[in-house]
Homo-oligomer: A and B are copies of this chain.
């Protein structure tokens, strides 16, 4: 198993023709050259079987895709450009080769799409379940990375795309127990918003940014905490995902608290001209940054209630 992963990975590093990677797999470290005047952006994300994914709930390709998408999304949230990925992968001895091949296929297809070479990692035997840790290294011009800490009272709050599809899918799967739900599984795979992040950073449009990996309410609370501010969100402005086979968009709770959407949540000065769409993806104003350090949800009629960070907890995922 491990040998196949290594050979698949080695092939990709070459085919990516990534000029940043001076030396990749086959030495003690990868040697990476950053563009002149750039800083390195580094992020790591676990994908643990039974915690972040279940093999009976989705294809191996989807799991491989999402494993890398989580890291790329963090680079997008800084306004960065991804350069290289590193995969630490531990596999149980009885795992089918077919699954491993599918996982690597899904991961490497996404890597190729974003010009990211798989430049290293580690492999091991796992006693139980698949253990993957993805590390993505990107870069941004010195001092230009968009942090979580830059939101100021009066800034508008925006979100890309539509939220809640992933959470609704997991909710359906969890309630069905062991049954497979092919229609639900056909949910589109998350597309890391690299281009949108780059555009916002280049034009200095965003004052703070984060990706929606743990749910809007939880990720917004991180911006509020790091920036020392509060927020008001208008419930009827939150863009809810439309799921195939359903007439209505997903419930508000999925859009507010559901994780795994990998859209971008950002703030911008009132004077900033934010387009209605960037790189073909809708951008929606959902609220306002406030001086009071609380998060408030404003209903259609104007009623206000406290918005608590309760990112979607599927099968005890968040700890």
Interface residues of A (CB under 8 A from B): 1-2, 22-23, 26-34, 39-46, 48, 50-52, 74-75, 77-78, 80, 84, 86, 88, 90, 93, 119-129, 131, 133, 135, 137-138, 140, 142, 145, 147-149, 209-211, 226, 316-317, 319
Contacts and interface: CB of A to CB of B under 8 A. Distances in A.
B148 A26 contact: yes
User: How many identical chains are in the complex?
Assistant: 2
Contacts of A120: 42-44
B44 A147 contact: no
A226 to B, nearest CB: 6
Closest 8 CB pairs of A and B: A28-B77, A29-B41, A133-B133, A28-B74, A32-B40, A125-B319, A29-B43, A128-B128
A27 B133 contact: no
A260 B48 CA distance: 26
A23 B126 CA distance: 33
A31 B41 contact: yes
Contacts of A22: 39, 145
A163 to B, nearest CB: 17
Contact of A46 (B23, B78, B124, B142): B124
Given A28-B210, A77-B28, A23 B124 contact: no
Nearest to A80: B29
Contact of A32 (B26, B27, B42): B42
Contact of A124 (B31, B129, B319): B319
Contacts of A135: 42, 44, 86, 135
A140 B32 CA distance: 10
B44 A39 contact: no
Given A120-B42, A129-B127, A27 B86 contact: no
A122 to B, nearest CB: 5
A132 to B, nearest CB: 9
A1 B319 CA distance: 9
Contacts of A137: 40, 42
Contact of A51 (B34, B126, B138, B210): B126
